[in-house]
């Protein structure tokens, strides 16, 4: 497979469209400039292409192996991980107090896209550590941060998130894992967790498990959940690694994809755990980590879509089949490259226009994460936090859906060759599928958007968010040269506002109807907001010339004419199709 890191597009989004000045104005980012961002993106692209893409297939073929109670990563992973930490990729957005570089999170997002595109199995060993680090940095006591976090930033210790139990998935209030106080202030953690990404491996000298459990006497349900740090090996007061901590890997899952990633079942048998944050407030703390991961998972889907597009495009240039009906290449051969077939162009442009738009959405969300965490203006920080909360389920669900749809479409461009092992497309399809499932299925994300983000105070913000985009588009309405993007985007936004009001009414009168339309609404929302972003991008480059900017305008036009019309059908399904769903009861499905 091939991969050309989209550094030029990423650099454009961060420095031209969003504006480098918006980053450098934030406290702690004063030294961030275009040169730094470009250098980091270039080096990340090189590492991902030369080190990670080359071992991706080996990871799939050999997989992670569980033997004698230990997990062994696939060939090449240990060497690549050592290079990963030596190059400083575990330090990008970490706190300088712990050895991090303190760079913007929106830059980390761009690196995450490259990592996910080239080797998601490998990425997952570091990804959960990244999220665990930020949870501990924001929630743990000073002594825990000082003792544990430098090793995590260094990359010699890793982290996990232990939520799911055999009987307990989305409804975490059903968990059975117990925490019993010890005399020294720690807790004895006993219980079983499943589907633990990177739960065990041979890449780091210690693994720090963040485990939710219920302390004896705690309230039932989600109100009685606490969070604990449970290392695989006890950490001594001087920071050295001590005795084994009664954490057993009972098995690893044999999966459809991401086979190089160890997905473990863990048993905790009185393991020593340290309380993180307050008793019975563990779920609120853990949701910080989960929301970080949800944005990252969406970006994984974006990476899959992009690498699938790149390889399908290369194949379409090489594959000779039939004569093109219109423009033909010079030379008069018996068959032309399939890139000259209009249907192949339509499929490729459908992927590309959505990839570039989705990358803009991810960058927009990432910038607001930085503003939320760094801004000295409390009002700006709060507003950015609401933007992030609104967009998190959209980024997670829509971008991961886009990843699978794009890999399947790109696979089809290969014809039969896409179905066989040789070209790697079938692995992309298998590996990408999990992004729609873990960190909360996309159906759950849609319910979060509709049932939580459209009601109460968050619902008021959603209305303001849409109104702000109406104002942005209205500001460009007098420019006829922009009408090809602002006109369709404005019409789609009006449809979205109408659908939002209708759906909010259903939440008050018949929640089942609203829930039944949630998934379609999320897609209408995402497609519309991406159209607004495309319009804003095109407006920003109105006076710029050159092949890069000309291509942006052409891709934006394609999106408006060939992708955005889906929102009309979605709006009709949501409003006009509600009765058809409501009248079909459970009994109508049969036994």
Could you list the active site residues?
439
Q: Which of 283, 291, 533 is nearest to 396 (CA)?
A: 291
Dihedral (CA of 196, 197, 203, 208) sign: negative
Cα–Cα distance, 531 to 536 (Å, whole number) = 9
Contacts of 74 (CB under 8 A, 6+ apart): 55, 58, 59, 61, 62, 63, 64, 121, 260
For 343, counting Cβ atoms within 10 Å of its Cβ (0-12 exposed, 13-18 middle, 19+ buried), the class is exposed
In whole angstroms, what separates CA 318 from the centre of its chain? 32
Say what angle helices 53-62 and 77-86 make with each other, to 10 degrees. Answer: 140
Q: How far apart are the first and last CA of the chain?
A: 46
Supply 316's token pair: 């379409």
Q: Whose CA is closest to 133, among 156, 163, 165?
A: 156
- In the structure encoding, which two tokens stand for residue 53, read together? 């893409």
Radius of gyration of the chain (CA): 24
Distance CA 181, CA 189 (A): 9
* Dist. CA 168–CA 534, nearest whole Å: 41
């Amino acid at each position: 497979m091939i991969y050309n890191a989209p550094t030029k597009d990423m650099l454009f989004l961060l420095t031209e469209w969003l504006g480098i000045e918006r980053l450098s104005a934030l406290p702690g980012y004063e030294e961030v400039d275009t040169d730094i961002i470009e250098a980091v993106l270039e080096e990340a692209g090189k590492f991902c292409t030369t080190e990670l893409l080359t071992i991706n297939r080996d990871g799939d073929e050999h997989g992670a192996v569980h033997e004698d109670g230990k997990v062994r990563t696939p060939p090449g992973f240990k060497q690549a991980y050592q290079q990963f930490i030596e190059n400083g990729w575990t330090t990008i957005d970490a706190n300088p107090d712990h050895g991090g570089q303190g760079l913007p999170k929106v830059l980390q997002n761009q690196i995450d896209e490259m990592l996910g595109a080239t080797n998601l199995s490998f990425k997952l060993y570091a990804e959960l550590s990244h999220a665990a680090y930020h949870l501990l940095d924001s929630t743990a006591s000073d002594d825990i941060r000082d003792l544990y976090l430098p090793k995590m930033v260094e990359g010699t210790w890793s982290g996990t998130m232990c939520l799911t139990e055999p009987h307990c998935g989305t409804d975490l209030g059903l968990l059975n894992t117990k925490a019993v106080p010890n005399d020294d202030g720690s807790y004895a953690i006993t219980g079983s967790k499943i589907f633990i990404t990177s739960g065990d491996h041979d890449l780091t000298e210690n693994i720090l498990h963040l485990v939710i459990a219920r302390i004896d006497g705690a309230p039932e349900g989600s109100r009685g959940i606490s969070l604990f740090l449970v290392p695989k090996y006890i950490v001594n007061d001087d920071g050295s690694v001590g005795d084994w901590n009664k954490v057993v890997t009972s098995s690893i899952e044999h999966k459809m994809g991401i086979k190089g990633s160890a997905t473990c079942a863990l048993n905790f048998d009185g393991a020593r755990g340290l309380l993180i944050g307050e008793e019975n407030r563990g779920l609120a703390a853990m949701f910080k980590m989960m929301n970080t991961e949800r944005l990252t998972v969406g970006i994984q889907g974006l990476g899959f879509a992009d690498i699938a597009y790149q390889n399908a495009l290369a194949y379409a240039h090489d594959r000779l089949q039939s004569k093109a009906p219109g423009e033909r290449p010079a030379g008069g051969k018996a068959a032309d490259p399939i890139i000259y077939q209009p249907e192949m162009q339509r499929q490729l442009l459908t992927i590309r226009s959505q990839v570039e738009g989705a990358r803009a959405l991810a960058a927009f969300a990432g910038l607001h994460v930085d503003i939320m965490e760094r801004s000295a203006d409390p009002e700006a920080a709060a507003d950015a936090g609401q933007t992030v909360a609104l967009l998190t389920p959209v980024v997670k669900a829509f971008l991961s859906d886009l990843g699978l749809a794009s890999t399947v479409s790109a696979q089809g461009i290969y014809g039969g060759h896409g179905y066989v092992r040789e070209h790697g497309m079938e692995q992309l399809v298998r590996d990408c599928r999990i992004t729609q499932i873990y960190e909360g299925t996309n159906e759950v994300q849609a319910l979060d958007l509709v049932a939580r983000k459209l009601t109460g105070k968050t619902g008021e913000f959603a209305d303001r968010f849409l109104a702000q985009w109406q104002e942005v588009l209205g500001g460009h309405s007098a420019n006829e040269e922009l009408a090809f993007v602002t006109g369709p985007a404005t019409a789609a936004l009006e449809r979205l506002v109408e659908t939002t009001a209708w759906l909010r009414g259903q939440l008050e009168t018949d929640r089942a109807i609203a829930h039944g339309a949630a998934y379609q609404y999320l897609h209408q929302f995402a497609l519309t907001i991406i159209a607004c972003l495309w319009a804003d991008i095109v407006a920003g480059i109105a006076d710029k010339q050159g092949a890069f900017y000309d291509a942006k305008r052409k891709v934006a036009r394609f999106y408006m004419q060939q992708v955005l019309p889906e929102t009309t059908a979605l709006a009709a399904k949501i409003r006009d199709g509600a009765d058809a769903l409501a009248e079909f009861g459970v009994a109508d499905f049969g036994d």
